[in-house]
Amino acid sequence: MRDERTGLPVVIVAGLHSDARKEAVDQLLRTVPGSIALHHDLSTAADGTVRRTLRDAAGEVSSGETPLVNDCACCALREDLVPELARLAASGLTRLAVVELWDSVEPKAMAEVVVAHGGDALELTNVITAVDPALVLPCLGNGDDLAEAGLAAAATDQRTVGDTWARQLEYAPVLALVDSEDADDADRALLAQLHPTARQVGARSAELARLAFAGFDVETAAAAQHPSCALLPQEADEAGVATLVWHRRRPFHPERLYEALEDLTCAAARSRGRFWLADRPDTLLAWDAAGGALCVENAGPWLASLPDAAWEMVPAMRRAAAALDWHAEHGDCCQHLVFTSPGLDREGLAQLLDSCLLTDAEYASGREAWRRLPGAFDSLLDPVS
């Protein structure tokens, strides 16, 4: 029995690699006495229900169904997850609840649900993504919609396999790796460069159980993913896999960047970061690409554009990140993009990016002239409702 003075420890195990995920969950059930795994199978969502299963090291303990909510399997999961965990907590017999997420469910959303609604009864103690190193690149490079792959969580789910896998991989502080005969040095180098701060452990290692209780902070994890202060990878080159960190202080010309988007998106298996458009000089823009698909989003204002009084409302991590990147003239406005891929043409990519920046003459014309440049990104950033 666990200490009654604390909430029920909850660890989330995520990932598209279902066999690897099961291996990691099985290891936790074997090595943590009194542990229970909770899994919601969303593959039955087309029939109008989500199947819930509870199992321990000996096998299935119970199962049931929960109806869809708003025709959304993930919504049903959110509505059912915390009550089930709270029931386990109330029993006082469970030492660790292992939430095994279904293939395309992203851990960030579920981690925040547990923390927001679990109260004192639940304590999120870590998030783990299970990985087969040989499948990292195939998943990352898969531009198919989840619906095409039979992995959509709702009729309106427009995510792709590649971008979903990237977020699953990069959010978790712990990666549980299975042994794979098909994995080579390039696969392992790619994994290390995509998420260099992650703790990598074997899915069958004894250390996995210890890490399940290590602790987890959803606010820190969210900040680490936000484009304004993301912990982006550093320059690297190993086993034919390279990472380019491209950092500049001059804004992009919107038309030249837009014309180069296809080449830039396809130049790497994964690219992400923040960027600055001359015609929107006060707006921090997010760049997120995987599987040949690019998502560009408005991530709010650069801090340099805010009045001093507004800084008190900005999270401390955001202020600290801006301070580290501050420029006397432009503040935190900058280009900070990271590209990771096997066979990356770093020199050619850097030249293409540089060619999209304002020229000396354009830069010298000043911000008012910049704002009058053609709004090539308007259709992406200001969609008609």
pLDDT, tens digit, for every residue of 162-183?
Answer: 999 999 999 999 999 999 999 9
Stretch (H or E) spanning 112: helix 107-117
Listed residue (88, 4, 28, 35) closest to 210, CA to CA: 28
Cβ burial, residue 23 (10 Å; 0-12/13-18/19+): buried
Cβ burial, residue 45 (10 Å; 0-12/13-18/19+): buried
Question: Helix, strand, or coil here: 93?
Answer: coil
Average pLDDT per consecutive 10 residues, the chain (385 residues; last block may be shorter): 68 98 98 97 84 96 87 82 95 96 96 94 98 97 93 87 96 97 96 96 97 95 85 91 96 98 97 97 96 93 90 84 87 95 97 98 97 94 69
The mean of the pLDDT values for the chain is 93
Q: What is the DSSP letter of 235?
A: P
**Cα dihedral across residues 324, 327, 331, 334: positive or negative:** negative
Q: Is the CB of residue 16 less than 8 Å from the CB of residue 103?
A: yes
- Rounded to whole angstroms, the maximal C-alpha distance in the chain is 71
Structure-block tokens of residue 270: 């994964």
The pLDDT value given to residue 384: 56
Structure-block tokens of residue 301: 């204002």
| Helices and strands, counts by H and E, the chain | 14, 14
The pLDDT value given to residue 5: 43
pTM: 0.94
Structure-block tokens of residue 82: 């915390």
Distance CA 314, CA 268 (A): 33
Mutual angle of helices 218-225 and 316-324, in 10-degree steps: 40
Structure-block tokens of residue 32: 């943590």
The pLDDT value given to residue 75: 84
Query: What residue ranges define each of the domains in the chain, with the CATH number in brackets?
Result: 8-225 (3.40.50.300), 236-381 (3.30.1220.10)
Q: Is the CB of residue 50 less than 8 Å from the CB of residue 80?
A: yes
Distance CA 228, CA 253 (A): 21
Kindly report, residue by residue over 325-336, the tens digit of the pLDDT: 889 999 999 999
